[in-house]
Amino acid sequence: MAPVRCPFCRENDDKVVDSRAGEDGAAIRRRRECLACGRRFTTYERIDELGVMVGKRDGTHEPFDREKLRNGIEHAATGRLDEHAIESLAAEIEEQLRTEGGEIGSDRIGVTVLERLRALDHVAYLRFASVYKGFEDLADFEREVVELQKTTEPKRRQPS
């Protein structure tokens, strides 16, 4: 995404303090704070123009790849969630990432998937976590299962 120039001091270093869909749902309204002068301003971006870039751990960038996300979810959710549920989960996560906008760390995507799977299916969650968090032995799984049991059982989402 092109850097946004502060209308007050012309610097293009800002952080997004609030993002929400515009009234017609076709634009995202972002409240930004200039990191140079501290003043706030608002931008509007059309949703279909939002390119999401993924920043990887090694410092390189690549465009967000929906297919890659879907494959990762599918790998973890095979036999647990049906094709439709996997597809809509990938779409929802993509939508969420686009709404947050800007550049997204690859870690952020992993955490978002984990949060969603955790609410949907604990087996798929554990499978995804084992790859994403690099589980090495049974103790890692046991720790994660204990964590899952601590939280109240979330409501199962109905596939739409």
Contact 110, 117 (CB under 8 A): no
Lay out the site mask for Zn ion across 59-98 (x = CB under 5 A, - = otherwise): ----------------------------------------
Interface with Zn ion includes 4 (CB under 5 A)?
no
* Residue ranges with strand state E in the chain: 14-21, 27-34, 40-46, 53-55, 61-63, 103-105
**Shorter beta-carbon distance to Zn ion: residue 33 or 92:** 33
Tokens of 73: 């979810």
CB of 22 to Zn ion, least distance (A): 24
Interface with Zn ion includes 9 (CB under 5 A)?
yes
Distances (CA, A) of 121 to 27, 77, 110, 147: 33, 8, 16, 14
Contact 19, 28 (CB under 8 A): yes
**Shorter beta-carbon distance to Zn ion: residue 9 or 131:** 9
What whole-number distance in Å separates Cα of residue 160 and Cα of residue 137? 36
Interface with Zn ion includes 44 (CB under 5 A)?
no
Interface with Zn ion includes 34 (CB under 5 A)?
yes
CB of 39 to Zn ion, least distance (A): 5
Q: Which residues of this chain interact with Zn ion, rule CB under 5 A?
A: 6, 8-9, 11, 34, 36-37
